[in-house]
Amino acid sequence: YKKHHDLVIKIKGNAGGIPEDIISKVSEPYFTTKHKSQGTGIGLYMCEEILRKHMNASLDIQNITFEYEKEYHKGAMFIIVMKKVYV
């Protein structure tokens, strides 16, 4: 959606969210909760770098509870804000 001159994109999941003790770390380089053979921990880091350095955007990650089709769900929400898209 449009907010002032910015474009805001919110992506919600319903898998229970991200544990509070690690949510601030998930976009750090090489941070992973998986076994070393299953991931390197650079996916979200690279997404945030591309957004910030090449698209004048930011990424925020938070846990939320939301209603969808009359049922409540808990999950993580990724918020991308692209600055000054609309002038």
For the stretch 30-59, pLDDT in tens is 998 887 778 788 999 999 999 999 999 999
* Domain assignment present for 25: yes
pLDDT tier for residue 2 given thresholds of 50, 70 and 90 = very high
Report if residue 50 sits inside a domain. Answer: yes
Q: What CATH number did the domain enclosing 63 receive?
A: 3.30.565.10
pLDDT at 40: 85
Number of domains in the chain: 1
Q: What long-range pairs does 47-55 form, CB within 8 A, spacing at least 24?
A: 51/80, 51/82, 55/82
Residue 87 lies in a domain: no
Is 57 within the bounds of a domain?
yes
pLDDT value at position 22? 96
C-alpha 70/C-alpha 23 separation (Å) is 27
Predicted structure pTM score: 0.86
Determine the structural domain holding residue 45 and report its residue range: 2-82
Lowest pLDDT segment from 10-14, 27-31, 58-62, 72-76? 27-31
